[in-house]
Structure 1
Amino acid sequence: MTPPHHRVLRALDRFHAARPWDHNARFHPWILRQLPTRVGSALDVGCGSGDLARLLAGRAGRVHGIDADPAITARARELTPTTAPVTYTVADAPAGLPDRSHDVITCVATLHHLPLTEALEAFRDRLAPGGTLVVVGLHRARTPVDHLLGLASVPLNIVMALLRNRGRRAPRPVSLSAPTRPADLTFAEIAREARTVLPGARLRRRLFWRYTLVWRRR
């Protein structure tokens, strides 16, 4: 017999498929609040269809998005005005990251696809002095706190889906992104490694099955 919580998760998946909304985009305003009003350059790792990269263009003189999916990257170019200071590259992170420094590096729902230590080291090495790294990531639930936040996210997820799709006959489109897979590492494992590579990094568990990381390079 299927455990009750598995049935609940399957029902939630069906509900969300009928009323989709972008969980990652919910964090975009929060990401912008972590950044200075104006910076020289920004790098968005795992840029998808470029929603965050286009927002960063309002803060940065130039923005570069990188994603491993050619189709999604092509869509990002289509959606980005030619006058915007945004460019995109198809490449795998961290090996394919541009070899220059940036004032801001962002990485949303991508880090769990990458080798953690290598990726964090690459972000650190490409962040200019005084620059800011902001990560919104996924982790494997393990502790009671993790599971409580997950349970609290279920009704909030339903409310957000209803609000975002209110009055729409067709489902509201969500940003294109690469297929995701479950995170392997727990929050504690991620935090331990992050604080080793990025001394002083601030990490916090969040609702909607996410965590955040902010690090400023001195």
Structure 2
Amino acid sequence: MTSTDWDEAAATFDDEPDHGLRDTVVREAWAARLRTWLPDRPADVLDLGCGTGSVSLLAAEQGHRVTGVDLSPAMVEQARAKLAGRDAVFLVGDAGSPPVGEERFDVVVVRHVLWTLPDPARVLRHWRGLLRAGGRMVLVEGVWGTVSPVGIPADTLTALLAPLAADIRVERLSGDARLWGREVEDERYAVVASL
């Protein structure tokens, strides 16, 4: 999709339970996961493909300093409004090559974006360069659909990360309906890759 397509989707993007996190059960399920994925102390978090800022908001509520990047100006506008008054900055830019400096972040968080980018191996190397020593990537991905599935399988992603990370942990997320607001049957997971 182009930035124009995402701009058009921005008005209704948060209507999906796992996008807007408006349902308290879904919101708390994601907040609980983030607490296990993000550092205990306040950290600099880069949310790539941040959309309307729902995950950014959860991270900010947990005391982290957030920088969000999204290709869609309309999504960034909503994220800025959603996090007004918080320790957060939002930029319009390409998640694959975000307009931020190297070694500035403790965590890079990316949800349902990597599979859409050309050359995921190159993108992962670039993202690794954005992290400080001891940093981590939190990548929430999956394979959606049964007739013409799209996405990136967990084993493919972990193989791409193997030369870049000292520790890689996969958490299966498909079985937790609270995260999605409904039961799902496709492959959904998170990979936490620590340097």
Establish whether residue 215 from structure 1 lines up as the match of residue 182 from structure 2: no
CA distance in 1, matches of 2:31, 2:53: 12
For 2:190 and 2:35, locate their aligned partners in 1 and report how far apart those are by CA, in whole Å.
13
* Secondary structure of 2:18's aligned partner: coil
Describe how 1:1-218 pairs up with structure 2 within 5 A: 20-22=16-18, 25=21, 26=26, 27-60=30-63, 62-81=65-84, 83-100=85-102, 101-114=104-117, 115-139=119-143, 183-207=150-174, 208=184, 209-217=187-195
Query: What is the distance in 2 between the residues matched to 1:186 and 1:36?
Result: 26
How far apart, CA to CA, are the structure 2 residues paired with 1:91 and 1:20? Answer: 23
| Structure 1 moving runs of 4+ over 4 Å | 23-26
Partner Cα separation in structure 2 for residue 56 and residue 41 of structure 1: 10
Counterparts of 2:86 and 2:153, CA distance in 1:
38
Q: Which amino acid aligns with 1:22?
A: D
Amino acid at match of 1:92: D
Q: Supply the distance in 2 between the matched residues of 1:23 and 1:96 (Cα, whole angstroms).
A: 21
Deviation (angstroms), 1:213: 0.5
More strand by share: 2
What do the CA deviations read for 1:20-55 (whole angstroms, capped 9, x no partner)? 522795434202222222234111011111111122
Q: Is the 8 A contact 2:56 2:68 kept in 1?
A: yes
The verdict on how the C-alpha distance between 1:118 and 1:205 changes in structure 2, with shifts beyond 3 A counting, is: same
> Offset of 1:60 from its aligned partner?
4.6
- Unaligned runs of at least 5 residues, structure 1: 1-18, 142-146, 148-180
- TM-score, length basis structure 1: 0.64
Structure 2 alignment gaps of length 5 or more: 1-14, 175-183
Q: Deviations over 1:150-181 (max 9, x none)?
A: xxxxxxxxxxxxxxxxxxxxxxxxxxxxxxx9
TM-score by length of 2: 0.71
SS of the residue 2:150 aligns to: coil
Q: Number of aligned residue pairs: give it.
A: 160
